[in-house]
Amino acid sequence: MPETIAAIDIGTNSLHMVVARVTGSGRFEIVTRHKEMVRLGEGPGDMKQLTVDAMNRGVDALTRCRRIAESFDAQLVAVATSAVREAQNRDEFIRRAREEAGVVVDVISGHEEARLIHLGVLQALPVFDSVILLCDIGGGSTELLYGLGQEILAARSLKLGAIRLTRRFFGDPEVHPASVVACRRFVRDQVTPFVVETRSIRADSMVGSSGTIETLVAMTRGKGTDSQRTLNAEVLSRDDVGVCIEALVAAGDHATITKLPGVDESRADILLAGALILHEVMLLAGTEFLTFSESALREGVLLDALHRHAGVDHRKLSDLRRHSVLHLVELCEEDPDHAFQVAWLAQRLLEGLEHCLDLGPDAGELLEAAALLSNVGLFISHSRHHQHSYYVIRNSEHMSGFSDREIEIIAQVARYHRKSAPSERHEVFRSLSPEDRSLVRGLASLLRIAVGLDRSHGGVVRTVAAGVDGDGLITITIAGEGHDVDLSLELYSGAERRGLLEDVTGRAVSVVTADGAST
């Protein structure tokens, strides 16, 4: 368990970092915060490209964050949201962040972003035992979520961000009333489907997070966000938001908006778009009041990292991640007993061979998820079901608790559980970093053999051990329950699938039974 953890939220508009000291109660105390406006989402088009200037600002800000984290000897976790998530050149930014700033960035899905924001909010407000509607307005997207405790009842990430809509409707420095009407209509069109789908859920309260909502609270109070220690738990009414919108429209241009009481100068040009998003959400949801949460994504990332370190056996999925994987198994897997047997076999193989594979501390967790989900593609078709499994895992909204990178690795390991081996001829594999390509190859080599060791889908292999002998030979020994169990099919199938493991380790592999039988 690290004594200090730093979490970075790389948003479309700004970059936030919070550094916290881990307490004995399994919680944390904030040591310091750091914020920079980097505007990663600037530039032409609908956030499909990160400009060089934006990447430069982002990398420079990450460098400063790393230095601050190092000054506290803090373990650093960084996640990126909409602007990086949608950019076609995001790999370049992630590479530069790693090589130039020394920060490993995980890109998270919109659904995962909503979950982590919800987790952060639960630390700031006493709403754990009630149903809440959460609204977080970022620069590139808006996350809406209904939650009860840590359970997510419904969540949606919408491409409605303050920067995105400002660029679309308010590109002119002067505010035109017709643009306000057009923006409202667009927001209503995007939000309505989620409201219709969740009409059976009755929220006890609404919670809002993000800089946009904080600034609207400050405007309502007539004071800047720095004029009091915290705005956490302040209540904002729908009428308050309407009054703020009227003031922003009446101001007429960005320069005048900056002079309004409570307005953050760095947010003045995008505030109207953000306010319109919030007002339409409150109108459509029928919500009169909202409580502001100072904690959001970065605090959720912090707590999630803390939970992963607090006594978690990295060989097994954490409760949240396991729950999401099992839900997908329940939805798509035709033979769950086979999936669990394969996952168990794969874990035993990793236990015996991890010293010669050197796949990292999270390898067991990723391998278990890939093994459980390797056959979910059968839900679509038996033909090429390994490729369908990749698609299902990669595009599912049920993979809560995993970063975008982790989901990609799980999906690729599942994809390569049969047929062709991982190859740079395949674009998705080629797009991985060299380290992740090695990880996929190593995990897939174990999963292939594990699948073979349950070829009959009968769970007849009851023990399995793997190790390296004095001559450098890898021996995998299997046994059934009793002496009369027929293991011939499993023995043959396991041996047939050993080729990738031999390529990965550079060692010969032998599959034998406990009584010495082999193929």
Say if CB 41 and CB 47 are below 8 A apart: yes
| Distance between CA atoms of residues 356 and 505, nearest Å | 7
pLDDT of 321 above 90 = no
Contacts of 29 (CB under 8 A, 6+ apart): 20, 21, 23
DSSP 403-469: -HHHHHHHHHHHHTTSSSPP-TTSHHHHTS-HHHHHHHHHHHHHHHHHHHTTTTSS----EEEEEE-
3-state SS track over 180-242 = HHHHHHHHHHHHHHHHHHCCCCCCCEEEEECHHHHHHHHHHHCCCCCCCCCCCCCEEEHHHHH
Residue 345 belongs to some domain of the structure: yes
pTM of the model: 0.70
- Domain end marker among 275, 308, 341: 308
Confidence of residue 52 (pLDDT cuts 50, 70, 90): very high
Q: What is the mean pLDDT of residues 504-508?
A: 95
Q: What is the mean pLDDT of residues 461-465?
A: 94
Q: Are residues 14 and 99 in the same domain?
A: yes
Residue 86's domain spans which residues?
Answer: 4-108+300-308
Least confident of 142-156, 215-229, 264-278: 215-229
Q: Are residues 240 and 374 in the same domain?
A: no
Q: Are residues 167 and 280 in the same domain?
A: yes
Residue 363: both structure tokens together: 């390898």
Q: For 259-286, how does the pLDDT look when each residue is reduced to its tens digit (9 = 90+)?
A: 999 998 888 999 999 999 999 999 999 9
Least confident of 24-33, 43-52, 127-136: 24-33
| Distance between CA atoms of residues 160 and 279, nearest Å | 13
HSE-CB of 277 using CA atoms within 13 angstroms: 32
Residue 117 belongs to some domain of the structure: no
Query: Closest Cα partner for 415 from 392, 435, 432, 431?
Result: 392
Q: Are residues 167 and 180 in the same domain?
A: yes
Question: Can you give the pLDDT at residue 42?
Answer: 81
pLDDT of 99 above 70 = yes
Cross-strand pairs, 512:
477, 518
Residue 115 belongs to some domain of the structure: no
Residue 114 belongs to some domain of the structure: no
Q: Are residues 145 and 17 in the same domain?
A: no
Least confident of 24-28, 204-208, 316-320, 394-398: 316-320
Question: Can you give the pLDDT at residue 470?
Answer: 82
Contacts of 225 (CB under 8 A, 6+ apart): 214, 215, 218, 231, 262, 264
Confidence of residue 26 (pLDDT cuts 50, 70, 90): low
CATH (domain of 451): 1.10.3210.10
Q: Are strands 75-80 and 289-292 parallel, antiparallel or unpaired?
A: unpaired
| Distance between CA atoms of residues 164 and 420, nearest Å | 42
Residue 32 belongs to some domain of the structure: yes
pLDDT of 175 above 60 = yes
- Name which residue leads in pLDDT, 228 or 409: 409
- Domain end marker among 270, 286, 308: 308
Question: Can you give the pLDDT at residue 312?
Answer: 41
CATH (domain of 15): 3.30.420.40
Quote the crossing angle between the two packed helices 336-357 and 319-332, to the nearest 10°: 130
Question: Can you give the pLDDT at residue 313?
Answer: 41
Contacts of 150 (CB under 8 A, 6+ apart): 118, 119, 122, 320
Q: What is the mean pLDDT of residues 447-464?
A: 95
Residue 391: both structure tokens together: 């698609």
Confidence of residue 288 (pLDDT cuts 50, 70, 90): very high
Confidence of residue 310 (pLDDT cuts 50, 70, 90): low
Q: What is the mean pLDDT of residues 36-55?
A: 86
Q: Is the dihedral of CA 223, 170, 38, 5 positive or negative?
A: positive
Residue 418 belongs to some domain of the structure: yes
Cα-flanking dihedrals φ and ψ of residue 148, to 5°?
A: -135, 115
Question: Can you give the pLDDT at residue 395?
Answer: 84
Least confident of 20-24, 41-45, 267-271: 41-45
The number of distinct structural domains making up the chain is 3
Q: Are residues 477 and 382 in the same domain?
A: yes
Percent of the chain with pLDDT over 70: 94
Cα dihedral 264→266→267→269 (10° resolution): 120
Query: Closest Cα partner for 498 from 421, 423, 445, 437?
Result: 445
Residue 218 belongs to some domain of the structure: yes
Confidence of residue 519 (pLDDT cuts 50, 70, 90): low
Category of 428 on φ-ψ map: left (φ > 0), alpha (ψ -120 to 50) or beta: alpha
Say if CB 251 and CB 291 are below 8 A apart: no
Q: In terms of residues, how long is the chain?
A: 519
Mean pLDDT for the chain overall: 89
pLDDT of 438 above 90 = yes
| Distance between CA atoms of residues 64 and 81, nearest Å | 19
Question: Can you give the pLDDT at residue 508?
Answer: 96
**Look-up of token digits 């390569």:** 416
Q: Are residues 182 and 98 in the same domain?
A: no
Contacts of 1 (CB under 8 A, 6+ apart): 22, 309, 310
DSSP 127-152: -TTSEEEEEEE-SS-EEEEEEETTEE
- Name which residue leads in pLDDT, 453 or 405: 453
Cα dihedral 114→116→121→126 (10° resolution): 110
Nearest-Å Rg of the Cα atoms of the chain is 26
Give the best-scoring range by mean pLDDT among 79-83, 375-379, 439-443: 439-443
Least confident of 17-26, 91-100, 258-267, 486-495: 17-26
- Cα 363 to the center of its chain, rounded Å: 17
Q: Are residues 171 and 283 in the same domain?
A: yes
| Distance between CA atoms of residues 326 and 413, nearest Å | 17
Amino acid identity of residue 482, one-letter, is G
Q: Are residues 206 and 170 in the same domain?
A: yes
pLDDT of 256 above 70 = yes
Question: Can you give the pLDDT at residue 327?
Answer: 85
Query: Closest Cα partner for 268 from 256, 276, 250, 280?
Result: 256
Question: Can you give the pLDDT at residue 24?
Answer: 63
CATH (domain of 135): 3.30.420.150
Q: Are residues 385 and 332 in the same domain?
A: yes
Q: Are residues 264 and 401 in the same domain?
A: no
Residue 436: both structure tokens together: 């992740």
Question: Can you give the pLDDT at residue 18?
Answer: 92
Q: Are residues 201 and 230 in the same domain?
A: yes
| Distance between CA atoms of residues 121 and 128, nearest Å | 9
pLDDT of 23 above 70 = yes
- Domain end marker among 308, 330, 351: 308
Residue 399 belongs to some domain of the structure: yes
Cα dihedral 156→149→310→443 (10° resolution): -40
Query: Closest Cα partner for 205 from 167, 237, 242?
Result: 237
3-state SS track over 352-381 = HHHHHHCCCCCHHHHHHHHHHHCCHHHHCC
| Distance between CA atoms of residues 13 and 308, nearest Å | 28
Question: Can you give the pLDDT at residue 317?
Answer: 47
